[in-house]
Amino acid sequence: MRVRLLLAVAVLCGGSVLAAEPKKVKGEKLDLGLPKTFNALPTGENMEKPKEKSAQQVPTTTSASAEYAVVRVIHGKTFVRSPEGAKPSAPFDAVPTEGNPPMTEKFSTVIRVRCTQKTNAPIDVVILDPRNDTLMEASGEIYFRGQKEMEVDYTVDWERTQLPRGAGAYQVLVRVAGAPLGTFPLKIAEPPAKK
C-alpha cells in the first residue's frame, strides 16, 4: 500500500512540475566582465616579411650534396691508432660471449667513412639480431675538420649486452646523414661450454 501511495505522489508531483511553464525572470542582465563592443579583426595589411639573415662568412655545404661511403667495419677488444687508421690490437672473428643467457663481452667497432667533400655529418650505428630487430645502437657525428685525408674513423665502444636471440649471425647497419650505407656482418660466438 505504501509503495503505491509513494508512486502516485511521485507521478502527480512530477507531472505538475513538467506541465508548468518556466517562469521568466525579469531584471538586469548578467555582467560577464566582457567589453560591450569588440575591436575590428586585423587584416594583416601593415605586416612585413621577416628579414633574411645575413649570409655567413664561412662557406657551408649541406650533407645532401656530399657523398659518403663506408670503407671498412672492424670489430675488436681494443684498437691501436696508426697512420693507416685504427687497427685492432686483439682482432677476433666473432664477438665472445659468456653466461646463460649469453651476454657479449665489452668490444669496440671502428667504422671508416670516406667523403671527398670532407663534410661533417651525423652517423648512426645499429646492431641488428638475426630477425633484424635492434639489439644495440649508437649515434654521433663524424668530423673531417683539420683532416688532410678524405677518410675518418668513427669508434663505438659497446657495453656488455644480453642476447635474447642467442649467438649467431648479426648485422651492423651504418647510416650517415640519415642515409643507410649498408649492412655489414657481425658474428657473435656461442659461450664456451662449462667444464
Q: What is the extent of the structural domain holding 91?
A: 68-188
What CATH number corresponds to the domain at position 110? Answer: 2.60.40.10
Structural contact between residues 79 and 86, judged by C-beta atoms closer than 8 angstroms: yes
Question: Measured between alpha carbons, how far is 46 from 115 in angstroms, rounded to an integer?
Answer: 48
Structural contact between residues 186 and 171, judged by C-beta atoms closer than 8 angstroms: yes
The answer to whether residue 17 sits within a structural domain is no
pTM of the full structure: 0.64
pLDDT in tens, 65-77: 789 999 999 999 9
The answer to whether residue 110 sits within a structural domain is yes
- Average the pLDDT over each of 39-48, 124-133, 158-167 and give the range with the smallest value: 39-48
Please count the structural domains in the chain: 1
The answer to whether residue 38 sits within a structural domain is no
- Is pLDDT of 19 > 70? no
The answer to whether residue 113 sits within a structural domain is yes
The answer to whether residue 89 sits within a structural domain is yes
